[in-house]
Structure 1
């Protein structure tokens, strides 16, 4: 005869109830255009991770043009990779995706392998440091979407202003619009701007 299981007491029941449920992620986004149009990208459950909205990405690449053949690009705070994969999907010669979170780096590498994205390189590291490592004037497109709660905007923009080519572009996503004076202090000017919800999307060029 099998012994009857003891009924868990209140403390045990409370411990079971308090055990966190396994993370199931925060959904997905899709590549808007190019070779991998409609490809789904998973969004990991990470504090502060904000994939650039589809509407904003679509507008950005309408501004830039759909053919990025020959472009050298850096996605300095890659996160889900939505911005970097959009650039690669449109034929950029090379897209370097930099991300500090090891789990997100592994996810980005898995996506790149699945897409057979030979024009994508992924590294783990600090976004500002990655920008500073670029040769002066070497990048056609720099994608800056740092954490909104941090203090990375000014150093990232200063490093990007040095790295961007004379005819290149810097995309900056921020919680507020940057003033003309603040941009001029970095040697930049606003080319296009879009507000979508709490996001201000800036397309910047050299002054």
Structure 2
């Protein structure tokens, strides 16, 4: 009697996987926690973002030497670890979810990422408490359904940027120059990738 063809067992759902695109940890793949509502920045968008940032840094090779970076809603930590890989001197990752914080700490230990600090708590409040002119880049990726966070965080980020610093914003729609102006910000770059609108913003002159 002919045996029945073997049916492979269903594969368990895979955790999100973080791929570092450039710098000292280039091509490193790291598993990160799979959590409801988590929306990691896609590799393609992250690659474009760091090309934008590297062009501002002017250091060549995609490096961000000495940069100070704050990720207000860190989630997987993909943006912060990418920045550290490219030479950022200070990276602060803020996240409220305990499981995500634990996963980021494990990644930090695996990479020996000494420039990276991870804080569990309210990232928006931490941003508002930042010293004026401290950060080279502030990463903002609030939950899409918490609209009130956007204006609050954008205004705080504009105050916290050093001269020449930038804000990276992910949102469900494009933010216009007219909306950003009262918050002290001006658009530099924009792209759409599926449901995500990615923006690079800088502080308005005299802001």
Q: TM-score range by the shorter chain?
A: 0.7 to 0.9
Q: Residue 101 of structure 1 corresponds to which residue in structure 2? A: 97
Secondary structure in 2 matching 1:36: coil
- Matches for 1:40-51 after TM superposition, within 5 Å: 40-51=29-40
2:43: which partner in 1? Answer: 54
Distance 1:96 1:171 in 2: 15
- Whole-Å separation in 2 of the counterparts to 1:38 and 1:169: 26
Shift of 1:130: 1.2
Q: Aligned with 2:109: secondary structure?
A: helix
Query: For the residues of structure 1 that align with 2:19 and 2:183, how far apart are their CA atoms?
Result: 33
1:123 to 119, 123, 130: 119
**Helix, strand or coil for the counterpart of 2:198?**
strand
* 1:176–1:200 CA contact under 8 A, matched in 2: yes
Pick aligned residue for 2:22 from 30, 33, 51: 33
CA shift, 1:45, in A, is: 2.3
Q: How many residues align?
A: 185
TM-score by length of 1: 0.86
Between the aligned partners of 1:189 and 1:173, the Cα distance in structure 2 is 15
Q: Is the 8 A contact 1:136 1:164 kept in 2?
A: yes
Supply the distance in 1 between the matched residues of 2:30 and 2:170 (Cα, whole angstroms): 19
Match of 2:76 among 75, 80, 85: 80
Please give the alpha-carbon distance, in whole angstroms, between the structure 1 residues aligned to 2:164 and 2:17: 33
Tell me the equivalent position of 1:139. 135
Structure 1 unaligned regions, length at least 5: 1-22
1:127–1:156 CA contact under 8 A, matched in 2: no
Instruction: Tell me which structure has the larger Cα radius of gyration.
Output: 1
Q: 8 Å contact 1:67–1:90 — kept in the other structure?
A: yes
1:185 aligned counterpart, secondary structure: helix
Unaligned stretches of 5+ residues in structure 2 = 1-11, 55-61
What is the root-mean-square deviation of aligned Cα atoms in Å? Answer: 1.2
State the shift of 1:38 in Å: 1.3
Provide the rounded CA distance (Å) in 2 between the counterparts of 1:82 and 1:204: 20
